[in-house]
Structure 1
Amino acid sequence: DASSAAMNLVLLGMRGMAVNLLWMDLDQQKDMKRWAEMQATTESIVRLQPHYEKVWDFNGWNLAYNTSAEWDAVPDRYYWVKQGAKFLKRGVERNKRSTELHYRTGKVIQHKIGYADEAADYRRYFLSDPDPAYEGKPDLVINPEGKDNFLEGKRWFELACERELSRPQHILDRSLFRATPARCQFDYAQALQKDGKFGEGTREAWDQARKDWTEGYGREIFHALIGSEESDIRLEMTDEEIKQIASTPDDEQRVRKAVDAYQKMTNYRYWRMRAYAEAEPETAEAHRAIFEAKQAYKAQEFDNARNAAYRGMEGFDKLLKSPEYEMLTDEDLLCEECLLAWKIWDDIYQVAGEKIPDDYPLKWLVELKQGNDQLMANVNKQFKRLFLENR
């Protein structure tokens, strides 16, 4: 970049001092909420340090997470989230071999847009920008193909994984880093259900998640160190495959131990089980029933809401009691959905002044999770939002 090179030449040996002063200014401007000055200072810093990846990483994160939180209107917050993603993308263009900047860009698009409190609005804006200049279309700088944010995040994580093969990253353990594209596919499938979509497209999304997890990620080779011994393993290995690479019984035991340790670290068995469980027709119907319960509750159709919630509770009670799927009780998001259905069902009984039955589906799960303060807080937060929308 010509202007960047010129600035560095003019400063001669004073570049380090200039950069330090600019960083001090940036920190002060952030505290004083002088956003326009912050942008100008950031531009000066990147001209002086265009290949220092932490500059792009920190300032992209700062725009997307900190600056956006200072605004009241959701469209204004989204604007700054976009600015963070765009800034990181510029960093990628200046550092094309960077593994970590590709990952950070994907993280903002996947996590900040998909999991913020404003996620429902952000995900909609990602496909139809609220700025009139875009005429109801996406901002092509961050969403060039008009994809769902989780699928666009997946694309960035795939690019990061491609670069990781030649340029190692220092963000996550390699086995967790390589899982990110497949995890985005899981996020996408779950988001479709949350949006009330339960048709063939959602089933295909879950099937693709299963393939990405077991046939893609699960077949990658990882160099595992167990104690002082080393093994090349895959997370998806049959007994026969383990025996083939083991030369002795001790070797076989060591490989099994390594596979088990890595499967636990990446939660591999849970996500494999979840993908198969979501392929069950009864699971889709249980999700649909809970979605209908929420919609009926908001519309004050309380009999319909109670009946739909009960159907969803019955469906998940049957699923979670199945021996092959009992591990799903450890997954907070799924449990939150189940407990929200119970909360709606329970609330309608209490408001009506009717006696709550002594036994009901998922009673055991309610009792099991009562001690999980974080999970119950999330359930109560979701219910409160429904309650306020209902009123």
Structure 2
Amino acid sequence: MNKLTARNRKLVYAVGILVLLVPIVLLGAPVSEDIDLGQGKRESGGSLARMRIEHDLGEATLGEIDATSAALNLVLLGLRGPAAGYLHMEAVRYQERKDWARLKSTVESIIKLQPHYVKIWEFQGWNLAFNVSREWDRAADRFFWVKEGVKFLQTGTSRNQTSSLLFHNVGDFLGRKFGMSDEKRFFRKWFRNDPDVDKWSGGADSVINPDSIDNFLMARKWFQEANDKADMYGITGKAPLIFKQGPSRALLDYGGALQEDGRFDEASDEWGNALTAWTKEYGGIEFYGLYNIKYKLENGEGEVEKFAAENGVDPERQRLVIQHNQEIVNYTFWKALAECENDPDMAATRKTLGLAKEAWANAETSEEEVGDGVVKPSKAESLFWDAMQGMQTIMDRYENKGLHLHVEYLEEAMLAIFYYQQIRISNGHDAEEGENAALPADFPLKKVWEENQGLIPQIRDRFARGL
């Protein structure tokens, strides 16, 4: 080589470069579709690109490609990891300093460096919706940051179409954060009528609620899409039994939310829809348990024996597998609760209880003397008595399903009795000390009252807050 002239050395280098280009092109050329007349489409391209497609490893397979992200990765070469680590530390620093604008821009920079690292989307989505939102005092500001967390996750789903867990997390945030947080009374209303009137004209934020529907119904849509993704790409980070209950649980939560809103007839109908979803949709999914035993949570006549034969186990073993997994998700409880809440008598009882509390709030609590020493109970007292009778009927009807021990039902029953007791005390009835003061000798729910005196502190608190 030393005997070659400068010109000859350059020629050797050029030839070497051309020779090396051949395997590089053969290995690394991108895949393209060629059209042959009479033969339709055929794919051509490098071996590595073909292998990426065959094994779903290409970036386009994962989701949308961000041009800026791709350019940054090219410029940083092997330093993408250290750069992302530094930005993570900066994000924590900005959050501690409550520099929200810089926090947001830093997080956006992180996802440009690592768009397909799902844990980043999970962590920062949670951080914005649950942690950053709590740093604000005004409910409207908290609502804004919860939305930012949800939108962040939504962006993550577009970049990671194969991550079923991200889709599930969006549904979880929509249901839990908007519908179950301390601010849910505001958040549920704002989900359909955003407080940023200038931007959304009094309607919903179309990014998170394009259909202008209830947050639990939107959560159900995301859960359904998550289940579809799980069927195609699998589930990581959650057991299928837990993961796939999302759409049905969203309807159960929706029925409960309508109850709290005082929309009792609508709530009863939605509990019926939830019951169908819980038993037909979720209960009809085939899962695989321990030792690869296939089962369903809801089984008709002969199905247990059919699955037992298919799994090569005896029917008793099959029943134990079903029972064990039902207990994991509290399947029978939610089924019984939906049946109970769908009962017309339950809807009527809840409506009566709501009217009784309204009469109390309007001070309709004074008895009326109608002559000959006959005293007519107040409107509030009569309504609470009717509600107590209705609750007694419901508890007796569903006692075999364990709902007479449901804490929420016990608290509602105790609260109704407590209101009734306070009304009678205010009207001069027997006010001696004791748990049964001013109560008749044989009143509805008496057994519940006497066996659950430990709940009285919570009941007094709810009574004081007018709940």
TM-score (norm 1): 0.89
User: What amino acid does structure 2 have at the position aligned with 1:152?
Assistant: M
User: What amino acid does structure 2 have at the position aligned with 1:362?
Assistant: L
Decide whether aligned partners of structure 1 residues 15 and 381 sit closer, same or farther in structure 2, where only a CA change above 3 A counts: farther
Is 1:262 paired with 2:325? Answer: yes
2:225 corresponds in structure 1 to 159
Unaligned runs of 5+ in 1: none
User: What amino acid does structure 1 have at the position aligned with 2:250?
Assistant: C
Is 1:287 paired with 2:350? Answer: yes
Whether contact under 8 Å (2:295, 2:307) holds in the other structure is no
User: What amino acid does structure 2 have at the position aligned with 1:283?
Assistant: M
73-82 vs 342-351, which moves further: 342-351
Whether contact under 8 Å (2:133, 2:142) holds in the other structure is yes
Whether contact under 8 Å (1:194, 1:291) holds in the other structure is no
User: What amino acid does structure 2 have at the position aligned with 1:309?
Assistant: F
Cα distance, 1:75 vs structure 2: 1.2
292-301 vs 98-107, which moves further: 292-301
Cα distance, 1:238 vs structure 2: 3.2
Matches within 5 A, 1:86-165: 86-133=151-198, 134-165=200-231
40-49 vs 304-313, which moves further: 304-313
1:314 corresponds in structure 2 to 389
Is 1:383 paired with 2:437? Answer: no
Whether contact under 8 Å (1:297, 1:386) holds in the other structure is no
Give me the whole-angstrom Cα distance separating, in 1, the residues matched to 2:356 and 2:466.
Answer: 11
1:337 corresponds in structure 2 to 412
Matches within 5 A, 1:1-391: 1-133=66-198, 134-199=200-265, 201-225=266-290, 229-247=291-309, 251-302=314-365, 303-322=378-397, 325-351=400-426, 354-355=429-430, 356-357=438-439, 358-371=441-454, 377=458, 379=459, 381-386=461-466
Q: State the percentage of identical aligned residues.
A: 36
Q: Deviations over 1:319-357 (max 9, x none)?
A: 112255541134333444333333433443455554321
Whether contact under 8 Å (2:336, 2:401) holds in the other structure is no
341-350 vs 278-287, which moves further: 341-350
Unaligned runs of 5+ in 2: 1-65, 366-377, 431-437
Whether contact under 8 Å (2:164, 2:226) holds in the other structure is yes
User: What amino acid does structure 2 have at the position aligned with 1:231?
Assistant: I
Cα distance, 1:205 vs structure 2: 1.1
Cα distance, 1:124 vs structure 2: 0.5
Decide whether aligned partners of structure 1 residues 246 and 8 sit closer, same or farther in structure 2, where only a CA change above 3 A counts: closer
TM-score (norm 2): 0.76
For residue 363 of structure 2, give the secondary structure of its aligned residue in structure 1. Answer: coil
Whether contact under 8 Å (1:223, 1:232) holds in the other structure is yes
Decide whether aligned partners of structure 1 residues 70 and 251 sit closer, same or farther in structure 2, where only a CA change above 3 A counts: same
How many residues matched?
A: 380
User: What amino acid does structure 2 have at the position aligned with 1:124?
Assistant: K
Give me the whole-angstrom Cα distance separating, in 1, the residues matched to 2:312 and 2:113.
Answer: 58
Whether contact under 8 Å (2:87, 2:110) holds in the other structure is yes
Whether contact under 8 Å (1:128, 1:136) holds in the other structure is yes
User: What amino acid does structure 2 have at the position aligned with 1:180?
Assistant: G
Give me the whole-angstrom Cα distance separating, in 1, the residues matched to 2:140 and 2:379.
Answer: 34
User: What amino acid does structure 1 have at the position aligned with 2:412?
Assistant: E
Give me the whole-angstrom Cα distance separating, in 2, the residues matched to 1:196 and 1:352.
Answer: 29
Decide whether aligned partners of structure 1 residues 109 and 350 sit closer, same or farther in structure 2, where only a CA change above 3 A counts: farther
Cα distance, 1:177 vs structure 2: 1.5
User: What amino acid does structure 2 have at the position aligned with 1:272?
Assistant: K
Whether contact under 8 Å (2:341, 2:347) holds in the other structure is yes
Decide whether aligned partners of structure 1 residues 295 and 240 sit closer, same or farther in structure 2, where only a CA change above 3 A counts: same
Give me the whole-angstrom Cα distance separating, in 1, the residues matched to 2:400 and 2:193.
Answer: 38
Cα distance, 1:140 vs structure 2: 0.9
Decide whether aligned partners of structure 1 residues 68 and 297 sit closer, same or farther in structure 2, where only a CA change above 3 A counts: farther
301-310 vs 103-112, which moves further: 301-310
User: What amino acid does structure 2 have at the position aligned with 1:25?
Assistant: E
Decide whether aligned partners of structure 1 residues 92 and 311 sit closer, same or farther in structure 2, where only a CA change above 3 A counts: same
Give me the whole-angstrom Cα distance separating, in 2, the residues matched to 1:329 and 1:298.
Answer: 28
